[in-house]
Structure 1
């Protein structure tokens, strides 16, 4: 099963997006593990995830996250509009495209 990590500052709004993405995955019949963590906790799951998506509010930490991940998987920033609208379907679609 593929694992998608959303990286955020505190996790409140990102947790909402995680739920929207899970709903979108369920609709499409895709089995995924999707969860959110603050940047400070990325290290402990770095070897377990298949893709890392950063919330727009922590885009400046992309180099730090890329260093933690070590080029093993894609690290991308979530589109600000999709994040603001909590468009789980669009964010999931982008993640799936990056995974394939």
Structure 2
């Protein structure tokens, strides 16, 4: 499998940047070929147009974007989901990474 590109979408970014850091630690421990980045919700649609994205995970605070982003990605193969609020609140990078990987398996 080629590199997996996971993008987290947030509003402010502080918690999400910590989650990205925790996810990257898990990726390094498991020697996985995964790219993870957090972007503000205002840049999500433009970002997807110009970058390779496999999974778009939304922070619970921007869950209102879920339907719109699913609609705009329906023909692209990009998987969109909202991060489990409990995993988000505890900054559980391992569980959030697993959520993204499970979405890819569903393709």
Residue aligned with 2:12, SS: coil
Match of 1:60 in 2: 64
Match of 1:7 in 2: 9
Please say which of residues 59-68 and 15-24 is displaced more in the overlay: 59-68
CA RMSD of aligned residues (A): 1.3
How many Å separate the matches in 2 of 1:20 and 1:13?
A: 11
Residue aligned with 1:53, SS: strand
Q: Which runs of 4+ in 1 moved over 3 A?
A: none
Q: Deviation string for 1:25-78 (max 9, x for gaps)?
A: 111111111001111101222142001000011111112222332442110000
Match of 2:26 in 1: 24
| Unaligned segments of structure 2, at least 5 residues | none
- Residue 98 of structure 2: which of 68, 93, 97 is its match? 93
Report if the CA contact (8 A) 1:46-1:68 is conserved: no
| Unaligned segments of structure 1, at least 5 residues | none
Residue correspondences, number:
100
How many Å separate the matches in 1 of 2:42 and 2:71?
A: 13
